[in-house]
Each structure stands twice: as structure tokens, then as C-alpha cells.
Amino acid sequence: MGSILCLTLFQGRMFAQESPYIVTYDHYLEEPGSLEVEYFSTLGTQRGGNGFHAFWLELEYGTKAWWTTELYVDGQTTVNDSTLFTGFRWENRFRPLAREHFINPVIYIEYEQISEADKIIKEVEGHDVESDHADPNSVLRQEHDHEIEFKVLLSKTFRGWNVAVNPLATKNLSPSNPWEFGYALGGSHPLAMRASPNHCNLCRENFIVGGELYGGLGDTESFGLHETSHYLAPVAAWNLPSGWTVRLSPGFGLNDKSHRLLLRWGVSREFSSFGPMISRLLRGRQ
């Protein structure tokens, strides 16, 4: 395993043209054979409790041109409390249409096994509110969720603008829980539409900026925008020629059910030849 990691550090770097979104998904999948390793942090304020630092690692692999699979591992540290592993998620995204269309749908299916102490807030669903996170970790970690989540990722890029709409539906696998719903909307645009001929880190073409709006839509028993949280977040991504991408997003709660501030940042790196390299290793080639 160590040799695999060492090899990936030194070969197969590819310039990543990653979107700046942290919650919203556009319709672009990982290139086949590429592995993207991502780390994200969320610093959150908490009324009636302690602030927190939630973090997660993503391993995103392009299985086919039409299929991307991704594994998340989540954790968090709550101020004056503890640090703990809060669960994992396995998501798969399938692109049913091969070519670009007026709107490009992607089917998203995720299984997650997380505890109530999970605070990454990668999506808002049902009646998720700030006070859900106020209890101490020792209490929150006692309850576990096994959920299946479905999204339809609708996205369009036109004249450099990307617009993405992600409705979601989640079902906790315990039979007594209703279906829960949520949404995420995003828009983004690169700072420059044309590339400069020179290699540079700070060229405008390497920056993409935009915004996200996401929140809950209640559940089957009480559908709507009320009694749930909503966030508005400017987003920015810096795609470095070395293959690294840095993202930053301060998210602001839009009502008194939301955290006041969710300051997010992330760093990712794409390894384009990961799949072929593993194939070579499995065949014993050097």
C-alpha cells in the first residue's frame, strides 16, 4: 500500500478543472481511471453549544466515463468536548446521456452510515436544524443513521456559466422514519474564459467563483421550507497547474434554524493515471 501511495505522488498529475462547489454537484464526472483525493474542513458556530471543526476525506474514482464512485470518511472535533470519527458515505454518480444536452442529468445514489455527531453538513435534509448539533458528543454518538440518499443532478454550462440544481430525497433505513427532502443550487463562472499561453499559477483562468444556496425541504409529513435550515455561500476554487485545487466557502445561515456561519475550505489533488497504474501493479508490471 505504501508503494502505491508513493507512486501516485510522483506520476499521473493532471491539471484539474474542478468546480468551486462544496455542496452542489454539476454534471461532470471524474475522468475514467483518475483518482481524486480531497480533504475538506467545516468550521461552524453553534448557538446553545460549542463550536466545531468537522472534516472529511473523499476518494473519488472515475470508473467509467459515465460512472464515478466515491468514498467519504467523516470526523469532527467539538470545542471543549472531543474528537471522533462519525461515519462513512459511499456515493455513486451515473450519467445516462453520453453527449452534452440542453440540461444534463446525473443520477446520484448514496449510502451513509453516520452517527448523529456528524457535523460536516454536506447536505441539509428534512428538518435538519442547528440545535441538532448542540448536545455533547457523548450523547450524539449514541445514535446512528443508516440512510439511502437519492439526488438528481441537473446542470448546464453556457458561455462559461455553470448552473446546477440538485433536488434530493433521503430515507433512513429504520422503518419508522419518513422520506426527507432537500435542495442545493449553484452557479459559477471562471474569472477568464481564454487561457493565456504562459504557464502560471495566478492566471485569472485558474480561478472559478460562484455561489451556492442549499437547505431542507421537510419530509413526507411536513413538506416545505419551514422548520429547517438554509444557507447561502459564496464559493471560489483555485485550480493550480500542479494538479492541486483549493476551495474556500464561507456559508451564512439564512434563518434562526441555521448555523450562523459555516466556514469551509478544502484541498484536492487529481491522479490521472491511478487506474492504469493499479492495473500494471496487479499484472506485475513495472
Partner 1 sequence: MNEPSLRVALPELPILACLIILAHFPAVGQPGQATTPTKRSWDYGALAEVPLKAQSMPNPYADDPTAMAAGKKLYGQHCSECHGADAAGGNRGPSLRVAEMRKATPGAIFFVVTNGVARHGMPVWSKLPEPERWQIVSFLQSLNK
Binding site for partner 1 (CB under 8 A): 12, 14-15, 17, 19, 26, 28-29, 31-33, 61-66, 69, 71, 88, 90, 98-100, 111, 113, 143-146, 157, 159-160, 162, 173-174, 190, 193-199, 205, 241, 272-273, 275-276, 278-279, 282-285
From residue 10, alpha-carbon distances to 168, 233, 284 in Å are 38, 35, 19
Instruction: Give the nearest distance from C-beta 261 to partner 1 in angstroms.
Output: 30
Burial of 120 (0-12, 13-18, 19+ CB in 10 A): buried
Q: Nearer to partner 1 by C-beta: 239 or 258?
A: 239
3-state class of 21 per DSSP?
A: coil
Instruction: Give the nearest distance from C-beta 37 to partner 1 in angstroms.
Output: 14
Q: Nearer to partner 1 by C-beta: 29 or 217?
A: 29
Q: Nearer to partner 1 by C-beta: 18 or 130?
A: 18
Instruction: Give the nearest distance from C-beta 71 to partner 1 in angstroms.
Output: 6
- The beta-carbon contacts of 53-58 under 8 Å, at least 24 apart in sequence, are 53/77, 53/78, 53/79, 54/86, 54/118, 54/119, 54/120, 54/121, 55/120, 56/120, 56/122, 58/268
Instruction: Give the nearest distance from C-beta 31 to partner 1 in angstroms.
Output: 5
d(CA 213, CA 95): 23
196-221 burial, b for 16+ CB within 10 Å, e for fewer? eeeeeeeeeebbbbbbbbbbbbbbee
Q: Nearer to partner 1 by C-beta: 71 or 225?
A: 71
Instruction: Give the nearest distance from C-beta 167 to partner 1 in angstroms.
Output: 22
Instruction: Give the nearest distance from C-beta 62 to partner 1 in angstroms.
Output: 8
- Rg of the chain taking only CA atoms, in angstroms: 19
3-state class of 219 per DSSP?
A: strand
> Which alpha helices (H) appear in 33-186, and where do they start and end?
137-140
Q: Nearer to partner 1 by C-beta: 48 or 197?
A: 197
Instruction: Give the nearest distance from C-beta 256 to partner 1 in angstroms.
Output: 30
Q: Nearer to partner 1 by C-beta: 47 or 64?
A: 64
Q: Nearer to partner 1 by C-beta: 89 or 230?
A: 89
Is the sign of the CA dihedral 141, 259, 128, 94 positive or negative?
negative
